[in-house]
Structure 1
Amino acid sequence: MLPCYVMLDLETTGGNAVHDRITEIAAVRVEDGIETARWSTLVNPGTRIPPFIESLTGISDAMVADAPTFAEAVQPLLAMLDGAVLVAHNVRFDHGFLQNEMARLDWPLKVKTLCTVRLSRKLYPQFKGHGLDAIMQRHGLHTLARHRAMGDVDVVLQWLKLAQQELGLDTVQQAAKLLLQGSACLPPKLETDVTDIPDVPGVYMFYGEGPLPLYIGKSVSMRSRVMSHFQSATKVAREMRILTEIRRVEWRETAGELGALLLEARLVKEQQPVYNRQLRRERALCAWQLDESPSSNPMLKLVQLDDMEPGAWGRIFGTYRSKRQATDALRLLADTYQLCPRLLGLESGKGICFAAQTGRCKGACAGHESLSLHRVRVQMALAAHQLRAWPYPGKVAIREYHQSSGKTDIHVFDHWCHIATVNDATELDDLSQARKPLAFDLDVYRLLTKRFAMMETSGADLFHLPASMETSNQDCVQ
């Protein structure tokens, strides 16, 4: 298959290459089609073997008690791998465990790898299953030591020999050579050719067997970012879980980073990928509003952003996803600035509040501080949490252009809300006829506040749109 390779298999205490450990190693070295060395050993993992793993592999704590540690077994392993390609069934699993064990020894592992799961997919595309059990059943292969390292190595070697007989040595060699380049970085079940992913801004989506994405991400260089997911899987447990499930990658190009951020935020909320923790939940947001009357009690009331006119958003403080979150934040401000929790509405009753009795309130509730001074201090405490007023008289648009792809995106905003993204003057004209209600999105608000601050110094391509959006459209898409 290859001039020199080592067929390797590991047994481990679990499936997490970061936290679990190796319990058995088996390796067979093949040079010019001839087996030249065979080596295997149990390994003391330094931790208990879970009952499920013991029942699956037959390897118990007692069996590995006197076995060498990985540090003691590493020299014969490296001797086997010297100058050879590491070949394994789902090589990412075995390579990931070896990388982490070597990292614990502060010893980098530099070896080319080839995955026989991917090789099976390439040689036998007419079949769906390419796990070891599926291959054994399909090709009539047998072993008395399934889920033991050397038993599994021998099964894969049997399969390679059979594939060469059925398809020809040249076919197997050619497929192996095509997969060899970068194969360690690719999930074994991935059907998408990663070279098809453009290295431009956009949003990428990882899919498993179901119709909904596992994960949605964004990048200014999609292919590079996707490959970084694959490369980091051996060190990041979540990435490993994603890549054991991934079957295909889809993507959508954008003209720039802002478009990718906006698209990612929208798609995550719409499709709720299981591995996206941020951006997922779209809840009604609430905020604190200061009563206009200086003598009001309580001074603040909790309002829903959806119930307010966009023009009033600049007169509220904080944006919270729940009443509890808003109350906890206000309570913290009261403690920090010695504000009266009773006047703020955090405490019911009349007279002196409990905080004043313990010295944590300056006593506006007891007449020790004027209500006007207390109100000023409340405003100062809230100032850092005030939702910024929309800084423009009307709608604005931000134009992004990507030189290599030639793609143009025009993002239209009003009162911190993303109205739409269009690509040319005609679409911008059509947008002027549409009337859709504004919906505040905290993620978009945060994106825009940062973007506007950058534009003040960068002179980026932002332009104002007239109320009808019927003029100057050609200028914005040149």
Structure 2
Amino acid sequence: MVQGSAARDAMAAQPSFDELGTPLPAVTFCVVDLETTGSTDADAITEIGAVKVRGGEVLGEFQTLVNPRSAIPALIQVLTGITNRMVADAPRLPQVLPAFLAFAEGCVLVAHNAPFDHGFLRRACAEFDYPAPRWLVLDTAAMARQILLADEVANCRLATLARHFHSPTTPNHRALTDARATVDVLHGLIERVGNLGVHTIEDLREFSRKVSPGRRAKRSWASDLPDAPGVYLFVAEHGDDQQVLYVGKSVNIRRRVRTYFTAAESRRRMDEMVRVATGVEAVECVTALQAEVCELRLIATHAPRYNRRSKFPERQHWIKITTEPFPRLSLVRTVRDDQASYFGPFRQRQSANDAMLALYDGFPIRQCATRITLAQTSPSCALAELGRCSSPCDGRISRADYDRIVDQVRSALSDDVRPAVAALQHRLRRLVSQQRYEEAATIRHRLATLTRTGRRYHRVNSIARCAQIVAARRVERDWEIHVIRHGRLAGAALARPHEVPQAVARACVATAGTVAPPIGPLPAAGIEEAERVADWLEQPGVRIIEIDGDWSWPLYGVLTDERLPELLDVLPG
């Protein structure tokens, strides 16, 4: 299925499938073969033969004997028919190499067992100070191993393949003859994969890589997908049910999906996913942000087993200041409409614990979970004797004084973190003066966690408080327009050069989804969606068209490392 109305005007001018790469008929191939003395030295070459072809037509041939630095072994003379007498008057490699490089310039280099021939040419360029050409290299032997079935040919030697493809040229270990035979093998392999959607040189190169035939055969799934931003879903049919295996996003759905059927995708779980999948579906989007948000929502809805981040996306941890007569700090996973104060979210429980311990280090708020009432008292704990708790349990602090401590904690979390920093500085310096560096480093880590989460809290909470933000950002010639309500993306549109952005924005607002106000500091969307929206809003060039609410952070609500120089300089190093 293809949903959405993304740029119908652009669909008429949509590029063809072949335009995603260089079409094979437009590629000039230089098919080369080298004969050598058997040594690995760069100047061990005894003959170079090459054929230049394009679109099945031979454009030229290159052949020359080369005088190597050493004698040709007798076995090699018998194998190739090239004798010492034949190369005695032949030019040396430094004289031959420039002519060959000019012949092969701008070509895709093709050879049978290409690492051998290409390796000699690279070493020769290095030996004689010629810049090594940046050839695209095709290996017909590697391609044949991937394209041909095991029962079709006994092996992938050049002579075997030449017979299989009915080449009029029989390889005989002479460079030009073998290059001509390799041309016929190359054309035979190209014809073989033409019905598999291989139309470009980029596609053809993939066949020299290790990709299973079953995976490669599914590449046709991409041909009907849109050239537009959006989301793609790999699905598997199970009877009448359809299971979503994987959800991804891209600025170009078709191009991205095609990579899953090539060697460019090397993740093992993705290889397994493609084998299991029975099809790909697409949801076309107007903007890249809409695609990101759509991906997050689909992952949250379907929890695809091949999306690693789909595991437990709802798990968040918050610090809660309870509403008891003597409030305390509590770690919770859910924000409720209970008039309590919440701070977070934390992705991991350990991070929430670290932030809570930073608050305990800075403020004498009680740490016990005992229910304390105004009518009765109970014995104090060891923390009270150590001065780490104000001890409301034994009545040594009044409720009004205890409320002032709670208000300081609440302010440190929501308005001004400086009191928490100041409360910890004296303790840090004392620990450092006692050379208790590990303890001091632990406290600094706790405070860093607290301030880092404070940034996330204020960033998300600030857009959650806004009933509506309408913003636009220019991308090339178009304007991306988004309607954000309580931190949730409610609408997206694209204003083309011939359209008035303000009019497009008004239409987008009119059709945007209705979003109910969220509870407390929560946005109306998931935390990750709100952060993606904030990322977009904070980009350079974003213009606010309309805003209903106060999109702001408290001045001292977040202190970065740069704003804590005295604290960070306490520890040596």
TM-score, normalising length from structure 2?
A: 0.43
